[in-house]
Structure 1
Amino acid sequence: MRRIILISVLVLSSLVGSSQNFFDWRYHDRYFSVYAGTGWTGYVGDLTNGSPFTKGISHFNIGAEVRLYTKIAARVQYATYKIEGSDSHAADSSFNRQRNLSFHSQNHEWQAQLVYYFFKYGGKYHKRRAYEPYFALGLGQTFYNPKANVSTLGEPKTYVLRDYHTETSSYGNSALILPVNLGVKLAVTEFINLGVDLGYRFAFTGHLDDVYGNYADPNGDGTGYPDGTVEAKLSNRKFEDDVYIVNQDAFDQLVPGNKRGNGKNDGYFLLNMNLEVYLPKDVFRSKKGRGRKGKIFSKPGAYD
């Protein structure tokens, strides 16, 4: 028993010593950074119709990153973003144009990624390359809430589509995402990078736009919702006043129980411009443990 205790103590001491050496190696330079940015958003789904981009600046993100090895880093990020789509952008006489659906959604996401840099880290943050291209892959979750603007008694009103069960199957408010990013960081000053980043999110849902399967048919007999109800208007919008029959075959197919979406998962992308700031090597230590007192963002070389 004493031998086991002694061996356990020795092993534990060895692991502690190794971890201290590892963190000492990591702390000799600024391996931690935080960033924030904004940009443009787009979505790919049933209502894209050749117009994937959301109008104007449409997302904001914040994150933190730590360099683990010469080419590998890890980061976490939170973002809020807007996506939208409409069948009004579809080609005339097409099935989608006759379907006449639309949506907009203010969503948010979180993700964790591993980042692979194509060039090795220079050993000192202030000696880093002028540009650092990278590829990132991770896992995350998005929270979504598609809405639509529909006129009722001549007055436009916004409806949360999930609440009205527009299709035969219902859905929740979140889904897993597989985020993939390709970008480059440009050194602006000793402490600051400007990042340009294009990220695509493979979403494990086809309901980001509320359109995925078949028209709602609550009774299972092809009658759908009663005429004049909000559910009927939101599920099937081919009868709206400003919609004309441009494709009779498509018009006849748009009935309860029939195809409404393509049955495929959706996706979205974010084109980012980020400002990234390196944190001092002792930012997570107490003031007594720091090499010198002073502001976190001070003169070049203050913490070297």
Structure 2
Amino acid sequence: MLRKTLLILFSTFSFCAQAQNFFDWQYHDRYFSVYTGTGWTGYVGDLTHDKPFTKGLSHFNIGVEARLYSKIAARAQYAYYIIEGSDKNAADSSFYRQRNLSFESRNHEWSVQLVYYFFDYSGKYYKRRTYEPYFALGIGQTFYNPEAKLTNVEGETNSYALRDLNTETKSYGNSAWMVPVSFGVKLVVNEFLNLGVDLGYRFTFTGHLDDVYGYYADPNGDGSAYPDETIESKLSNRKFEESVYIINQEAFDQLVPGKKRGNGKNDHYFMANINIELYLPKDIFRSKKGRGRKGKIIGKPGAY
């Protein structure tokens, strides 16, 4: 997958480089930039229960961007992120608390996006505004693998890939298309560096980021569950665990093979980013004298 991601980033970079020669731009100081960052990830799905954020810093991203026109840029980005959720965060004695499901998933994504800046580009990256707000929209793909922890009678806790267990009988894949939408602002640090703050939401086309989507597993089609004491049985239906055993009798009676397990809706996730961006203008490898910069840089005396 890493090879595929790098190929996408390289192809986007090459396309943007060719586009610079193709379009008759009036802005002579066109540029590329690279950026990297980290931040906090949240998830919206069956197991959110008003606590969407993953604990601590939970994602890492890298990307490249090319300015295409006065207010338009294109970017390609790769990110690794963690999401989690648990019915233990639901209200006591609720249907969801009785259901007692949980997950954690270490995922990654790639995306390509068009970026719209609210202010015009000045034509020289080193004379850019001290702040640049923007909106981004694109398309991408996320790869996910929800897992759940289970403690055995010996007190050992292990993680299990829920996809492999067919917890809802029907199998599902390990990837889904998604639409990334972002709002952000870039703040000048110095001539070559920006500090970026970005909030991005991912609309996915899957309900299985958390493994919970449809109905309790009915492998034989006759209302019978997986054999008792198997991992499949214990993780597909967790209402029997000691910590929640019959805290809601009405809900307990509904949690049986063939009955509703999830809400049947797509899951989504979001990222709050802090990025460092480095500009790569076309003249970055020329001598200082060859660049011939004059005047002020961001309101200060020129560096050259």
- CA contact under 8 A between 1:109 and 1:142: conserved in structure 2? yes
Unaligned runs of 5+ in 1: 1-17, 284-289
Secondary structure of 1:34's counterpart equals: strand
- CA contact under 8 A between 2:20 and 2:68: conserved in structure 1? no
Q: Distance in 2 between matches of 1:137 and 1:273?
A: 18
Find the counterpart in structure 2 of residue 161 from structure 1: 162
CA RMSD after TM alignment = 2.1
Find the counterpart in structure 2 of residue 271 from structure 1: 272
- CA contact under 8 A between 1:30 and 1:278: conserved in structure 2? no
Find the counterpart in structure 2 of residue 79 from structure 1: 79
Find the counterpart in structure 1 of residue 220 from structure 2: 219
CA displacement at 1:155 relative to structure 2? 1.7
- CA contact under 8 A between 1:104 and 1:148: conserved in structure 2? yes
- Counterpart of 1:271, as a letter, is A
Secondary structure of 2:281's counterpart equals: coil
Task: Determine which structure has more spread, i.e. the larger CA radius of gyration.
Answer: 1
- CA contact under 8 A between 1:169 and 1:213: conserved in structure 2? no
Find the counterpart in structure 2 of residue 11 from structure 1: none
Secondary structure of 2:163's counterpart equals: helix
Find the counterpart in structure 2 of residue 8 from structure 1: none
1:1-304 aligned at under 5 Å gives the runs 20=21, 22=23, 28-153=28-153, 154-282=155-283, 291-292=286-287
Q: Residues 207 and 276 of structure 1: is their aligned pair in 2 closer, same or farther, counting only changes over 3 Å?
A: same
Q: Distance in 2 between matches of 1:85 and 1:232?
A: 20
Q: Residues 29 and 108 of structure 1: is their aligned pair in 2 closer, same or farther, counting only changes over 3 Å?
A: same
Q: Residues 155 and 20 of structure 1: is their aligned pair in 2 closer, same or farther, counting only changes over 3 Å?
A: closer
Q: Distance in 2 between matches of 1:43 and 1:51?
A: 9
Q: Residues 226 and 62 of structure 1: is their aligned pair in 2 closer, same or farther, counting only changes over 3 Å?
A: same
Query: Could you report, residue by residue, the CA deviation over 1:207-265 in whole angstroms, capped at 9, with x for unpaired residues?
Result: 00000000110000111101111100010000112223221111000001100000000
- CA contact under 8 A between 2:117 and 2:135: conserved in structure 1? yes
CA displacement at 1:170 relative to structure 2? 1.1
Secondary structure of 1:279's counterpart equals: strand
Q: Distance in 2 between matches of 1:186 and 1:280?
A: 18
Aligned structure 1 segments of 4 or more residues deviating by more than 4 angstroms? 18-21, 23-26
- CA contact under 8 A between 1:176 and 1:204: conserved in structure 2? yes
TM-score, normalised to structure 2's length? 0.86
- Counterpart of 1:53, as a letter, is F
Q: Distance in 2 between matches of 1:123 and 1:282?
A: 14
- CA contact under 8 A between 2:30 and 2:123: conserved in structure 1? no
Q: Distance in 2 between matches of 1:103 and 1:155?
A: 18
% same residue? 72
- Counterpart of 1:214, as a letter, is Y
Query: Could you report, residue by residue, the CA deviation over 1:162-203 in whole angstroms, capped at 9, with x for unpaired residues?
Result: 000000321010000100000000111111110000000001
CA displacement at 1:23 relative to structure 2? 6.7
Q: Distance in 2 between matches of 1:291 and 1:105?
A: 46
